[in-house]
Structure 1
Amino acid sequence: MTVKTPSYSLRFMGTGSGGELAMGCSAAVLEQNGKPQLLIDCGPGTLGAYQHCYGSLPEAIFLTHCHLDHIADLEILTVRVRLQQRPPVRLYVPLSLITLLHQRLATYPGCMAEGGHNFWDSFQLIPVVDDFLHNDLTLRLNPARHHAPGSAFSLHLPGVFFYSGDTRPVPEVLAHVLSGSEVVFHDCGLIANPSHTGLEDLAREYSPQLLRQFVLYHYANEAAATALTDAGYRVARPGDCIALPSIQ
């Protein structure tokens, strides 16, 4: 009997960086055979986009960092999980982010008007350091360069994809961890700043061969997406579903 190799894809719920609402907040879903496996980040509007796409709430989420444009919808999710009496959502959180996440979302008194509910009642918190196992996949973490050291992380499924999260260029990381076949989803706007990659950074920091594996996201608006495309780069837009290599 022939065993079918799983097919993987990454579907973007949003690709924006706090610019126009049409872009949505950056978040993506790892799919296996068209079914959602893992939501990456959950900022404002992400939960609605997820439910519109899949007709359900997410069962597992990974957080790259704790800026509100990447975590704010967790407040809505904790209430919906409680009201729908669903099992807790698996929440994979880098160990160094747990205290900050708790302070930002879980300390508000009486998070439900009906009472009797703690923020964490809706989640199965799974602290992660170097890697974690999810649905038989081993996903790896790498530090991003975003604001304070140790405050943001990239997500890597070896041989399949690398998702940078919010970051400055990380050529030293990609040079050491990529197997050569991954699709690299990389933060990039038109103008660089101390916490994000800009268009001019790409050619300076990365080789032309590696740039051919890039798909750019986390830009301000549609005009920025068009400019990145005109510069010769592949750009993700909200709703795009991008096929990924199969695990060998």
Structure 2
Amino acid sequence: MRLTVLGCSGSVGGPGAACSGYLLEVDGEQPVLMDCGPGVFGELQRRADPIDVDVILSHLHADHCLDLPAMLVWRRYAPTPATSRARLYGPRDVDLRLGAASSEVPGEVDDISDTFHVTEWQHGVPVELDGLTITPIEVNHPPDTFGLRIAGPHGQVIAYSGDTGMCDEVVDVAAGADIFLCEASWTHAPDDRPPNLHLSGYEAGQIATKAGVRALALTHVAPWSDPEAILAEARSTFSGPVDLVRQGQVFDLVP
């Protein structure tokens, strides 16, 4: 199982930096795109044919989903358009959110069902997709947001926090994971962040320790944040390997 970071900038894109997007691949299976924020669709084209990709979304904030209308255009109008629908899993009303974003007429909603077969996540109910078993667990972030626990065909586990504040559920997402891809949007200074929205590096390390993960990969660092300070915080609360992920980075999980 392979994880490729297509974009990892938090909340907004940075100079030359795409927002959240990750490619999941299993040998012999169709790739899966996990989140698709601004800039991600262009990076996807370096790695995979957009016609042959299924999609899973953690939540419907713009920095996690609003490059998907570009995929819709590609699948409809490329010289060799898609002949079947991509599977799209996401939170409640994902079809309305993306249909509104792609509509040509203000106030109307584009019917995306010609391009995507849409299924809404159900908390704790696993989904089998392209050689992966994906379990969505609702976490502490508005609106409906899911951490995603992704098991490969040989038992490898990638845990993705999505966006979240501190909660017990994100520990459940991460429990025993080989790689915990965890958002760490800011430092732990008490006065510079609203509650129940995002994690600090300090909190990401705490969760990784409590969950007993093998390695912590920090992501979703905002362009205005201090990544080295966030990394130092995570290392102060988690004794295992800690990475600040970068665009283009590849993680290979072997059996």
The TM-score normalised by the length of structure 2 is 0.77
How does 1:53-202 map onto structure 2 within 5 Å?
A: 53-84=47-78, 85-86=81-82, 87-94=84-91, 96-98=92-94, 101=97, 104-105=100-101, 108-109=104-105, 118-129=111-122, 130-148=125-143, 151-158=144-151, 159-170=156-167, 172-176=168-172, 178=174, 180-191=176-187, 192-194=193-195, 195-202=197-204
Residue 208 of structure 1, CA deviation: 7.2
How does 1:190-229 map onto structure 2 within 5 Å?
A: 190-191=186-187, 192-194=193-195, 195-203=197-205, 205=207, 207=209, 210=212, 213-221=215-223, 224-229=226-231
Stretches of structure 2 that go unaligned for 5 or more consecutive residues are 188-192, 236-241
The 3-state SS of whatever aligns with 1:12 is strand
What letter matches 1:82 in structure 2?
A: R
Please give the alpha-carbon distance, in whole angstroms, between the structure 1 residues aligned to 2:29 and 2:42.
Answer: 17
How many residue pairs align between the two structures? 230
Residue 134 of structure 1, CA deviation: 0.6
Residue 242 of structure 1, CA deviation: 1.1
The 3-state SS of whatever aligns with 2:89 is strand
Stretches of structure 1 that go unaligned for 5 or more consecutive residues are 1-7, 111-116
- Cα-to-partner distance string for 1:6-63 (whole Å, 9 max, x where unaligned): xx12101001011523331011011124976210011111110000233544520001
- Percentage of identical aligned residues: 24
The 3-state SS of whatever aligns with 1:21 is coil
Structure 2 residue aligned with 1:237: 246
Please give the alpha-carbon distance, in whole angstroms, between the structure 2 residues aligned to 1:119 and 1:78.
Answer: 8
**Distance verdict in 2 for CA 1:104–1:196, change over 3 Å:** farther
What letter matches 1:162 in structure 2?
A: A
Q: Is the 8 A contact 1:47 1:57 kept in 2?
A: no
**Distance verdict in 2 for CA 1:223–1:126, change over 3 Å:** closer
Moved over 6 A (4+): none
**Distance verdict in 2 for CA 1:138–1:51, change over 3 Å:** same
Q: Is the 8 A contact 2:147 2:173 kept in 1?
A: no
Measured on the aligned residues, the alpha-carbon RMSD in Å equals 3.0
Structure 1 residue aligned with 2:190: none
Deviates more, 1:12-21 or 1:172-181: 172-181
The 3-state SS of whatever aligns with 2:212 is helix
Q: Is the 8 A contact 2:29 2:131 kept in 1?
A: no
